[in-house]
Structure 1
Amino acid sequence: MTGPGEPRSSGGGRLLTFAAWSVLVLGLWLWGREITGVPPSASSALAGGSALPVPGLPAAHAPLAASLPARVDVPSMGVRAPVISRGLDAQGAIEPPPYDSPGTVGWWGGGAKPGEAGVALLVGHVDTASKPAVFYGLSAAKPGGRVRVVRTDGSVAEFTIEDVRVYERARFDADRAYGPRIGGRAELRLVTCGGTYDKAAGQYTANVVVSAYLTGEVRPGAAA
């Protein structure tokens, strides 16, 4: 996989190799179920609907009741994509979205649901062998940008991006990539491949991870 603006390898018949997706699940193995845990002492920080604010960004909204994700919208990237649940494959890696559906985003069903307390993980392809895929522009996301997740209960969980990081696969830090930034918040990670495509290895050299946290909710029937 190549980064945005770089030439794509003509030899990439698949969007992501097994090795690239294996990196995404590494952190989940390391912590087990801790990724969705809420430290008992942290829940009080959300009294009144907010947690400690990130400097220059909105205060966090209290976590929502659990509901499955149906669609993710990233206005700054022009993304409006269906979300499907993904599990682990026979080798223990997160199943990527179907290779014939590069516009679809996968939600790791073993983690938190977007909007509830914990870290929800959304993964998507960056490109195909011939054209951009759903998360092609992810590395260009900026702090303060918005991510909206439409949920099956009709509500919309609104997240604010707090940072964008690129993790080299050779020095992948699972805790930094997937760990909660502030205990008790509802957080979101958008993940795709980045760096450059290593044709000899048949994989990409890095992962792009966009971190966001819940800052609002639109209920069914309410004005957006």
Structure 2
Amino acid sequence: MSDDHGHATGAGRLITGLTWAVLLLGLWLWGRGVTGVPHTAHGPAAGDLFAVAPADPVRLPSPARPLGYALPQRVDIPQLGVQAPVVSRGLDAEGAVDPPPFDQPGVVGWYGAGTAPGAAGAALLVGHVDTETRPAVFYKLSTLEPGETVRVVRSDGRVARFTIDGVRVLPRADFDARQAYGPHRAGRAELRLITCGGSFDRASHSYTANVVVSAYLTGTTR
């Protein structure tokens, strides 16, 4: 039994590793500007910054024990007044996480083949910053600060509470997908909220940067 279990564990790790390799390649391409977005007069005034930090250092809480697997149903960001349904998404033709359709600007996409929010690893949630006519669900994502809260309502009846520990606006030149979207600390349950940022480049019909909010699990409620 131990040999079979060992082989199964090894195979599972191999599959997980391959999944992450494919995903990170796609995210690297996405970060370099492969995925276009529609032009709009609304754009996040984030600028091409490497990091957004609060004026004073924030004392962050200790991480909570990771939860088991459960589907995310809704994401709440109290500071932004966001309460958005979550739908499972795969990869697009370029290998990047496919966000919800543009006619669903208030919906957040979760990379369903990856980590579930609250489980060990880094769960990925993507959303549009805007549409051709109006701001979308992650329009103000770059204004979040370390110490603020993101909550994910799960299918097991638990609400996973995440504390933000980093907000980065990463230029698409020299983009490092592993640093942006991979786990920051082994054994933690982490969350990434991802959208477009920077300024809109008419030549490439895309934004010049990505906003990546990093958070980690610090508590749960029912």
TM-score by length of 2: 0.74
Number of aligned pairs? 174
1:204 corresponds to 2:195: no
Displacement of 1:89 after TM fit? 2.4
Q: Tell me what 1:101 maps to.
A: 104
| Secondary structure at 1:163 match in 2 | strand
Displacement of 1:24 after TM fit? 8.5
Does the CA contact (< 8 Å) of 1:68 and 1:151 recur in 2?
Answer: yes
Displacement of 1:25 after TM fit? 3.2
Displacement of 1:101 after TM fit? 0.4
In the alignment, the residues of structure 1 paired with residue 175 and residue 108 of structure 2 have an alpha-carbon distance, to the nearest angstrom, of 22
Q: Tell me what 2:26 maps to.
A: 25
| Secondary structure at 2:100 match in 1 | coil
Q: Tell me what 1:148 maps to.
A: 151
Does the CA contact (< 8 Å) of 2:201 and 2:207 recur in 1?
Answer: yes
In the alignment, the residues of structure 2 paired with residue 26 and residue 208 of structure 1 have an alpha-carbon distance, to the nearest angstrom, of 13
Q: Tell me what 1:85 maps to.
A: 88
Displacement of 1:55 after TM fit? 7.1
The worse-fitting range, judged by mean Cα deviation, of 89-98 and 75-84 is 89-98
Question: Where in structure 2 are the equivalents of 1:1-224 lying within 5 Å?
Answer: 25-26=26-27, 56-219=59-222
CA RMSD of aligned residues (A): 2.1
| Secondary structure at 1:170 match in 2 | coil
In the alignment, the residues of structure 1 paired with residue 124 and residue 68 of structure 2 have an alpha-carbon distance, to the nearest angstrom, of 17
In the alignment, the residues of structure 1 paired with residue 98 and residue 186 of structure 2 have an alpha-carbon distance, to the nearest angstrom, of 28
CA offsets 1:102-159 (integer angstroms, 9 cap, x no match): 0000001121000000000000000111111000000000000000000011110000
* Identical positions, percent: 64
In the alignment, the residues of structure 1 paired with residue 116 and residue 29 of structure 2 have an alpha-carbon distance, to the nearest angstrom, of 15
In the alignment, the residues of structure 1 paired with residue 160 and residue 189 of structure 2 have an alpha-carbon distance, to the nearest angstrom, of 10
In the alignment, the residues of structure 2 paired with residue 108 and residue 153 of structure 1 have an alpha-carbon distance, to the nearest angstrom, of 18
Does the CA contact (< 8 Å) of 1:143 and 1:161 recur in 2?
Answer: yes
Does the CA contact (< 8 Å) of 1:27 and 1:178 recur in 2?
Answer: no
In the alignment, the residues of structure 1 paired with residue 81 and residue 25 of structure 2 have an alpha-carbon distance, to the nearest angstrom, of 24
In the alignment, the residues of structure 2 paired with residue 24 and residue 142 of structure 1 have an alpha-carbon distance, to the nearest angstrom, of 28
TM-score by length of 1: 0.74
Does the CA contact (< 8 Å) of 1:23 and 1:169 recur in 2?
Answer: no
| Secondary structure at 2:173 match in 1 | helix
Does the CA contact (< 8 Å) of 2:25 and 2:95 recur in 1?
Answer: no
Displacement of 1:179 after TM fit? 1.9
User: What are the ranges of 5 or more consecutive residues in structure 1 without an aligned counterpart?
Assistant: 1-21, 30-53, 220-224
- The list of structure 1 runs, each at least 4 consecutive aligned residues, that deviate by more than 4 angstroms after superposition, is none
